[in-house]
């Protein structure tokens, strides 16, 4: 079974540019989450999809961030325009509907550097 896949693994962009991160969850997982770790600090929750619906987006930093999950399969997270403080590692995770936390599987992350 393939794990959670994230593209790209690294992205270096200039301030003001747009970047789109992609996450392919484990097949059949209705729950999809985005998390972010900034500068070696804690990993912070951004938002949660159940299929194509946003269940909880309370962790999204501001309206420069837009997450979508059309069709309830893969998800994209767009940052537009990117700012320096957006640099960090963006993790995606997925799980079955009503799965316990132990069954939350993370991808390897996208390292975003905004210069």
Partner 1 sequence: DQQVKQNSPSLSVQEGRISILNCDYTNSMFDYFLWYKKYPAEGPTFLISISSIKDKNEDGRFTVFLNKSAKHLSLHIVPSQPGDSAVYFCAASLSNAGGTSYGKLTFGQGTILTVHP
Binding positions for partner 1, rule: CB under 8 A: 4, 9, 31, 33, 35, 40-45, 48, 50, 55-56, 91, 93, 95, 98-109
Considering the complex, what minimum distance in angstroms separates the CB of residue 20 from partner 1?
19
Q: What are phi and psi of 57, to 5 degrees?
A: -120, 30
Q: Are 19 and 13 in contact (CB under 8 A)?
A: yes
Considering the complex, what minimum distance in angstroms separates the CB of residue 22 from partner 1?
15
Give kind and range of the element (H or E) at residue 66. Answer: strand 65-68
Q: Are 31 and 23 in contact (CB under 8 A)?
A: no
Q: Which is nearer to partner 1, 17 or 55 (CB)?
A: 55
Q: Which is nearer to partner 1, 17 or 45 (CB)?
A: 45
DSSP one-letter code for 102: G
Considering the complex, what minimum distance in angstroms separates the CB of residue 9 from partner 1?
8
């Amino acid at each position: 079974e393939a794990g959670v896949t994230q593209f790209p693994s690294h992205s270096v962009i200039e301030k003001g540019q747009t970047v789109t991160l992609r996450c392919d969850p484990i097949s059949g997982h209705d729950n999809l989450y985005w998390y972010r770790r900034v500068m070696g600090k804690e990993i912070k929750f951004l938002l949660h999809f159940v299929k194509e619906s946003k269940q909880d987006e309370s962790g999204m930093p501001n309206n420069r961030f837009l997450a979508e999950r059309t069709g309830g399969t893969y998800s994209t997270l767009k940052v537009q325009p990117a700012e320096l403080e957006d640099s960090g590692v963006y993790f995606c995770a997925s799980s079955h509907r009503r799965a316990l936390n132990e069954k939350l599987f993370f991808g390897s992350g996208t390292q975003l550097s905004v210069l």
